Chains A and B, each alone.
Chain A
């Protein structure tokens, strides 16, 4: 019987005080720079590693390849002008940025969003999570060498982007949630087409289940990879499926309910052994939960009604002084916006807290020790880090 756990207890050689003995002259250690052009990297990040033979001893993450200074740019623009720019912070799921910026502005200015607009916002957020999970499964398969999974799921993701284009007019960046509501409700015939897309996605997920999750190569490589202890979750700031894979059931949709989630019926997927395979399984179950949530929303969303609250002239809008923090659950974890206003027409400070901020820098450097070099890409992809939200 083949054991699926790898025993690496006698490596590396440590001294009496438990520290690594790194002897650069002996020729056993070499430095490797896994740069951003490498196809195994998730996004534009680089790792500077010290390896011994086949194993990684130490690693340092380098970020900053995508820094545009968003928070400085947003201070120069009026509130409504910040929307086109804030979506570009987290490219796979741009709707969370729009929703959170609108929600913080509405809370500081005291605006109530009407009911139909809240249903519409929930639908858009769930569709955004769906297409992000599909892209992630493709990336996870490719990191382990199974490139075919990516071809299926990214094709399926294109169908969801077509549905987005019907509602909002754009494939990736939608700009559909200004402060006060949404720009429009559902077009005619949308429900039928969306249900067809969801059926296609469920078919694709059955194939992906057989090809990826029951694949013996994937199971051997990912079981035991990247273990997160449940006590690490609070100290290292881990949220989302990374924490849920370790058994800590935290989901912002259940803990701090926002929009229409209190009226929807769903369960949070939690895993037990917190390795890469469990996290992938948690995300797969989350994807199926999202499909189910979209079906529920489609039955209950109103076709007409007021979808935009009265807001003052957005070009001369001055919001009273205050600060607030709002969070939402995106596919990677807890996404948050901390907004400070000072009574003028420009925001004082908007700070975006992406979930990869804590996952990719300190947590990755801790977890990549003693990992096989070939599995480094798989580990990074199983934490679902995405560099633009680290350096904004």
Chain B
């Protein structure tokens, strides 16, 4: 059902009083604006307000609760009292609209890459991406698989990599600590890098996802 063309083709819908409305789903249901860089991007010197904003962002990282690969099994113990990520202000949210960190927990197969791109684009700026495990760095042990990607940073702008297979929960907390340090220094600029090099990221994504039945930018 999902990949049929009649979902995305033009059709005629009837309003409540019987009037005809012509609808073109790609144009009308989705916005075709491309992402813009924010005004704070590449500011020469962060002022007091920016430093305060960056400190507040670093102390309340909300993660999208999506375990897209093997690494999800070591994300779950972080929510329990033994490792307790909640004491650092980190929460897990079910929807991308309320999240600002996307943890790509391991390898990404092609179908999951579609989901992850749409989830990343639906997150509000400023947003960060953390790659968990060696599979995001260079393909890991699935380097010769025909269905998994080899480098995550060609498709999404990554801020922190945590190596391991799987990394222990303590290494995850270490990686989150590094991410907080980066945000406080003003280096958490993934969303603006994505907006700046949008053409390049999209070309890479479209090269491997051959049947592109999604809008170019899921707002």
Contacts and interface: CB of A to CB of B under 8 A. Distances in A.
Interface string B102-140: 000001010110010001000000000000000000000
B46 to A, nearest CB: 34
Interface of A: 31, 33, 35-39, 43-44, 48, 60, 62, 64-69, 72-73, 76, 84-85, 88, 91-92, 135, 151, 154-155, 157-158, 171-173
A351 B112 CA distance: 24
B197 interface: no
Given A38-B94, A76-B144, A154-B77, 17 more contacts: A31-B1, A36-B66, A36-B68, A36-B115, A37-B64, A37-B96, A62-B2, A65-B115, A66-B112, A67-B111, A68-B148, A69-B146, A72-B145, A73-B145, A88-B141, A157-B77, A172-B166
B198 to A, nearest CB: 23
Contacts of A35: 115
Q: Nearest 7 CB-CB pairs, A to B?
A: A155-B80, A39-B94, A65-B112, A65-B111, A37-B66, A69-B145, A154-B80
A31 B70 CA distance: 30
Interface in B75-109: 76-77, 79-82, 94-96, 107, 109
A60 B142 CA distance: 29
B141 A158 contact: no
Given A68-B148, A73-B145, A172 B80 contact: no
A155 B81 contact: yes
B73 interface: yes
A91 B73 contact: yes
Interface residues of B, number: 37
A177 to B, nearest CB: 18
B142 A68 contact: yes
B75 to A, nearest CB: 11
Contacts of A38: 94
A48 B7 CA distance: 14
23 contacts: A33-B2, A36-B66, A37-B94, A37-B95, A38-B94, A48-B2, A64-B109, A65-B68, A66-B109, A67-B109, A68-B107, A68-B109, A68-B145, A68-B148, A69-B145, A69-B146, A73-B145, A91-B70, A151-B81, A155-B80, A158-B80, A172-B74, A173-B166
Interface of A: prevailing SS: loop
B160 interface: no
A103 to B, nearest CB: 23
Interface of B: 1-2, 64-70, 72-74, 76-77, 79-82, 94-96, 107, 109, 111-112, 115, 119, 141-142, 144-148, 165-166, 168
Given A31-B1, A37-B96, A154-B80, A65 B109 contact: yes
Nearest to B65: A39
Given A154-B76, A172-B73, A44 B81 contact: no
A33 B80 CA distance: 30
Nearest to A38: B94
Contact of A88 (B70, B74, B95): B70
Contacts of B95: 37
B112 A44 contact: yes
A358 B72 CA distance: 24
A23 B148 CA distance: 40
A33 B118 CA distance: 15
A48 B94 CA distance: 19
A85 B82 contact: no
A172 B96 CA distance: 28
B69 A66 contact: yes
A386 to B, nearest CB: 11
A85 B141 contact: yes
Contacts of B70: 88, 91
Contacts of A33: 2
A84 B73 contact: no
Contacts of B72: 91
Contact of A37 (B76, B115, B146): B115
